[in-house]
Amino acid sequence: MDIKQYKFFFLLISLYAFTATAQNPQSPTDWANLGKYSTENKKLMPLTKHEKRIVFMGNSITESWQYADDFFSTNGYINRGISGQTTPQMLVRFRPDVIELQPSVVVIMAGINDIAENTGPIALEDVFGNIVSMTELAHAHHIKVVLSSVLPAIDFDWRPGLHPAEKIIKLNAMIQSYCATNHIVYLDYYSKMVDENKEMDKRFTADGVHPNLEGYKVMEPLVMEGIKRALKQKK
């Protein structure tokens, strides 16, 4: 096990222990965690003339991805995932963590923590509305969008008993239909990672919610193809 894999293994152990009790305790002064990436954002070099910057917006599934292997560093992708976040939090920080970075493409993966009610109960229609709002903000700033499906899950260690499987299917259908109607790239992780019980295939996860290294290996070629398709779209 090399140092990168060791760090990812340690992160997953810490993450699973953390989610057994709670996710992302809210700061009383920074509810959306605007401060997490503020320093890194300021350190980013200005875009070069032909640079195609790619930003990933998401939660712990996105944040942990950068520690799984060298996928982000090799491709020069920018990770702006924050563990435990819900769509209203992502919407609040979408301007500093996406728009102001001037990417060509943003990959948005959101919704699982809303279904887990991390920031309180919320209707699926409102979750979907927040995802649409992020998409509209991106388009208003000439940023192309890849919308990801929510990964399969049948329970949450940190908030058991919510029966999320059918809600995930319904939210994914809403996102997929919106993408089809508006010519947006829909990234279908779900069908590649779900088993016959509507949960994540055990080959790809240790806790039923977060991908392990094998799970991310399934996701990587899919998202790269999605980014490629988005870059080819006309403005």
The predicted-structure confidence for 169-196, as pLDDT tens digits, reads as follows 999 999 999 999 999 999 999 999 999 9
Checking if the pLDDT of 1 tops 70, the result is: no
**pLDDT tier for residue 25 given thresholds of 50, 70 and 90:** low
Mean pLDDT of 52-60: 97
Percent helix, strand and coil across the chain, each to the nearest 5: 50, 10, 40
The answer to whether residue 79 is domain-embedded is: yes
Residue 234 pLDDT: 82
The answer to whether residue 131 is domain-embedded is: yes
Triad 32, 36, 41: Cα angle to 5°? 115
| Percent of the chain clearing pLDDT 70 (strictly above) | 89
The answer to whether residue 2 is domain-embedded is: no
Q: For residue 194, which phi and psi values (nearest 5 degrees)?
A: -90, 150
The answer to whether residue 149 is domain-embedded is: yes
The answer to whether residue 24 is domain-embedded is: no
**pLDDT tier for residue 4 given thresholds of 50, 70 and 90:** low
Checking if the pLDDT of 100 tops 90, the result is: yes
Cα dihedral 131/89/226/209 (nearest 10): -110
Mark out the alpha helices in the chain (DSSP H runs): 3-19, 38-43, 60-68, 71-75, 87-92, 94-97, 112-115, 124-140, 165-182, 190-193, 213-232
State pTM to two decimals. 0.90
CATH of the domain at 210: 3.40.50.1110
Helix (H) / strand (E) element for 105: namely strand 105-108
CB-count burial class (<10 Å; 0-12, 13-18, 19+) for 86: buried
**Total domains present in the chain:** 1
The answer to whether residue 185 is domain-embedded is: yes
Residue 2 pLDDT: 57
Domain hosting residue 117, numbered range: 74-235
